[in-house]
A and B are shown apart, each in its own frame.
Chain A
Amino acid sequence: MTAPLLSAQALSKRYGAIVACRDVSFDLSEGEALAIVGESGSGKTTLLNLIAGALAPDAGEVVYRLRDGATRALSSLSDAERRGLMRTDWGFVHQDSSRGLRMNVSAGGNIGERLMALGDCHYGRIRENALEWLGRVEIAAARVDDQPTAYSGGMRQRLQIARNLVTRPRLMFMDEPTGGLDVSVQARLLDLLRGLIADMGLAVVLVTHDLAVARLLSHRILVMKESQVVESGLTDRVLDDPQAPYTQLLVSSVLAA
């Protein structure tokens, strides 16, 4: 069996007296989508930031297998290596698109930024790439020179995804990617994401409070409550046959349309 792409080992984080994340461990294989669900304040976002290296854990470690096959602890990477990783092998889709996009730069520039950061100095090639990726996220090529401020919420999220995928990363972090979108736009975005994840063999760590999103996108699920993982397993198993009382409550709280 090959080593996991990413492995979280007994991660803990506290903010003063408040424990935000207690002893969380899991493995993520290449091409696997993992959803982290739970109510607001359960520590989902803290866990995501710990895995993505945006926060330093108080205890535990995140181990990642780099493209060259070397397995390294994130804490052992230098700033330059970690930032390089975030620009090439990783993607991060924020709930608030203005955190993930440059709002005063055109869509083409947003998509091209990672390529330029890697040293591509050919305008025609960068633009071709930008147009190709706009097409793949179903944004009309005519909008390539518009700034994200002129885009709708759903288009902004799709642009964020294109901007991240242009370097063909192996791992994407998503923090409530469908938050604040209306249901028809959500459905379209989820459909698109599902296609891209399958096509590119992306591994995904998805944070959401929406069980339907987790069901559609993820293979496995971690249920968090009060900073701890209360249940984990295959998505269908957890959602159809919840074992922990809290998961049962969560599943039964979903309103049927």
Chain B
Amino acid sequence: MTARPYNFAYLDEQTKRMIRRAILKAIAIPGYQVPFASREMPMPYGWGTGGVQLTASIIGPDDVLKVIDQGADDTTNAVSIRAFFAKTAGVETTTDTAAATVIQTRHRVPETPLNPDQILVYQVPIPEPLRFLEPRETETRTMHALAEYGVMHVKLYEDIARHGHIATTYAYPARVADRYIMDPSPIPKFDNPKLDDCPALQLFGAGREKRNYAIPPHTRVVSLDFEDHPFERTKFDAACEFCGASDSFLDEVVIDDKGGRMFVCSDTDYCQKRQAAHAREDDGVESRGAAK
């Protein structure tokens, strides 16, 4: 008989307990950054050590895990984190958004609407939205405590003064439950409206910065803006070349060295589902139509 090489989900039980307490506190105070004793993980900082620790703390043997990186299920970060939990927790993994109970994500919110039985775990590089203008941690904490958020608008003012519009397209600051302002991690601002009134629990983990914060289900999340320059969701002039979707976030892909490019869905699961649906429809049309 061989001893199990890892504790369930890698972290020891005391660590998971500590992180769960921090998560509960984060849920109790939506948008507030709760410090936690972040551990060394067997991957470099910047690869999702914060998200992995949150996932490890909340995952159970019956959970189904999906991991996405920039919307894709098949990139290095996503594949290795899925493999990590398949090995250390023995949980089932999936690429199907609807089938997952825990979704760990880097830089995207899935296009498929989430449901109340799901938890979305974000990997966060810099949790402090005020860092751009205020480098002192003691000062930013005071500013959060006193809700002194004027400088957030200074950042947006700079955008408009320089570019004529709010040019921040990712990590777009938002106010949670009419109180704390948070950095929604580097998701595109296209995804910001999905945070608002989301039925799923959303957890944010920053491993290097040792902070976590949360948006409980159905919480009001408002993106900051000016009265005369309201928040606008990114719009695309193109549709996905693979599935024809015009309502999803698109990646621009360079396809040759002559300036050729194409737009495709960043959410691979959403795109493949749509392609499969089209293929079924086409089959249906063909079988009904005359044989070749």
Contact = CB atoms under 8 A, between A and B. Distances in A.
B146 A113 contact: no
A105 B153 contact: no
Nearest to B152: A116
B278 to A, nearest CB: 44
A123 B158 contact: no
B133 A123 contact: no
Contacts of A254: none
A83 B227 contact: no
Contacts of A83: 146, 148
Nearest to B133: A102
A112 interface: yes
The size bracket of the interface on A is 20 to 34
A32 B13 CA distance: 66
A95 interface: no
Interface string B216-236: 000000000111110000000
Contacts of A105: 133, 154, 158
Contacts, number: 54
Interface residues of B, number: 18
A123 B151 contact: no
A145 interface: yes
Interface string B145-169: 0101011011001101110000000
A177 interface: no
Interface string A68-90: 00000000000110010000000
A203 to B, nearest CB: 25
Contact of A116 (B142, B154, B161, B162): B154
Contact of A114 (B150, B160, B162): B150
The binding surface of chain B is classed by DSSP as helix
Nearest to A115: B150
A42 interface: no
Given A102-B133, A121-B227, A122-B226, A113 B160 contact: no
Contact of A108 (B150, B161, B225): B161
Given A79-B146, A123-B229, A124-B228, A116 B153 contact: yes
Given A102-B133, A117-B150, A122 B161 contact: no
A109 interface: yes
Contacts of B146: 79-80, 83
B180 to A, nearest CB: 16
Contacts of A106: 158, 161-162
18 contacts: A79-B146, A102-B133, A105-B133, A106-B162, A109-B158, A112-B154, A113-B154, A116-B153, A116-B157, A121-B153, A121-B225, A121-B226, A121-B227, A122-B228, A123-B157, A123-B160, A123-B229, A145-B162
CB-based closest 5 A-B pairs: A117-B150, A116-B153, A123-B226, A116-B150, A122-B227
Given A108-B157, A116-B154, A121-B227, 4 more contacts: A102-B154, A105-B133, A117-B150, A121-B225
